[in-house]
Amino acid sequence: MRRLTVFNFITLNGYYKGPDEDISWNPHGDEEESEYASDSMKEDGILLFGRTTYEMMAGYWPTSMAMENDPMVAEGMNRAEKIVFSQTLEKAEWNNTRVVSGDIIGEIKRLKQQPGKDMTILGSGSIVSQFAEHGLIDEFQIMINPVAIGEGTPLFSGIGNTLNLSLSSVRQFKSGAVLLCYKPV
Digit-coded pLDDT (tens) for 86-115? 999 989 999 999 999 989 999 999 999 999
Kindly indicate the confidence band of residue 20, based on its pLDDT and cuts at 50, 70 and 90.
confident
Q: What is the pLDDT of residue 42?
A: 66
Contact 37, 70 (CB under 8 A): yes
The pLDDT of residue 88? 94
Residues 37-51: tens digit of each pLDDT:
767 766 779 999 999
Residue 20 DSSP class:
G
CA 149 vs. chain centroid, Å, equals: 20
**What domain count does the chain have?**
1
Residue 136 neighbours by CB under 8 Å, 6+ apart: 4, 105, 108, 109, 112
What mean pLDDT value characterizes the chain? 90
Q: What is the pTM of this model?
A: 0.90
pLDDT for the residue 38: 64
Q: Model confidence over 130-153: pLDDT tens digits? A: 999 999 999 999 999 999 999 998
CA distance readout (Å), 160 to 54, 131, 132, 153: 25, 12, 10, 16
126: CATH = 3.40.430.10
Q: Write out the residue range of the structural domain in which residue 123 sits.
A: 4-184
Gap between the Cα atoms of 107 and 115, Å rounded: 14
- Kindly state the helix (H) or strand (E) to which residue 57 belongs, with its residue range: helix 51-58
| Distance in angstroms (rounded) separating the CA atoms of residues 151 and 17 | 9
